[in-house]
Structure 1
Amino acid sequence: MKRLIILAAALSALGALAGCATTASSSTRSAAAVAPYRDSVDLAGRIAINYSRDGKKESLNGKFTWQQSKANTDVSLISPTGQIVAVINVTPSSATLKQSGKEPRTAPDLDSLTTQTLGWTLPVSGLRDWLQGYAVASDGSRFVATPANDTVVTRDGWKLDYVSWQDDAAAVPAPKRIDVTRIALGQAVDDMAIRIVIDAAAQ
């Protein structure tokens, strides 16, 4: 009987150690940071934008392609039927927006250009970082996303939630879904929210 008690205690201790080891392993994975920042990125995914225009709630759902080099960014927004809604090109000196059947429009600031022409803001300069899991936090520090540290308010007033990852168990996680909400004085602005799902590298 005594031996059985000792054996049971030993198995219990081993189980506890195994549980600790599993927890530690899981914790290590969840604390793993995203891959180092890359200047060149080629992605494709889905996007949902909810906003208000002239007092009315509007939404846009579709796909996007994202091609980024060190200096330039090219974005195509595509409707669910496959029609290109807008093509955006950003360089260090200008931003150009092209829509089917309309003259291209160019401005130094893409945020204001998209707001004026489309009715919503696509923060391309921020997305260059956000799509890779990086941001500049409201206090000016560099934010690096992990599954355990997945929310930040940026210096320019956007709240980022890294909702899911390409592979939760990966040693180097990559963002899958990012929810982006406009923030003003600490409160969410109901008329501006973006949901991004990264599906794959664009071919």
Structure 2
Amino acid sequence: MLTLKSSDDEEFTVEESVAVQSLTIKNMIEKKNCSGTTTIPLPNVDSKTSVMLIQYCKKHADQSATADDIKKFDSEFVEQNQYALFDLVMAANYLNIKSLLHTMCDEFFISEPIDLPSAENMLTLRSSDNENFTVEDSVAVQSLTIKSMVENNCAGTTIPLPHADGRTLVTVIEYRKKHADQGATADEVEKFDSKNDTRRITLV
């Protein structure tokens, strides 16, 4: 058995066969030879998302489940609100649960995936209050969250960001544009940062 510890310090005891649905956890076990009773911290996954992840991994680890069982389960599993879907995408990417990542992406993003890199590509970021902001992909992928989505073919041309409102995105985009500007000197970037509120950039 393994214990998974969420970012808000809740612990969940699961069978190893369930935990290793995550390639990240599987690699940790193999490299550290820590199979058996041990605690694995999940600093990027809260308890609410952990509960959903464990439910998913249990079903996919069930040897008696048929392909039709899995398909039906997946179709019902993605019936989550937008916030939960976004958290699941991020957690699936962090824990490298490829089947879940693909399932979430199919549900969460309905546009055709884009290819990087291309200076001509534009992305639309949609805030939690449904404001749209069109930016070059070179600006958008300054965000590691968005970059991860794009690289894993989880991003269409419109990317919803349910944790960031329009006001926050204005700040974020201005910050990202400055940091993506290859003509800006280090002093100019530092001066820009000192004059602007960059505390919100981690939200996206």
Q: Which TM-score applies when normalising by structure 1?
A: 0.24
More strand by share: 1
Q: Which has the larger radius of gyration?
A: 1
Q: Which TM-score applies when normalising by structure 2?
A: 0.24
More helix by share: 2
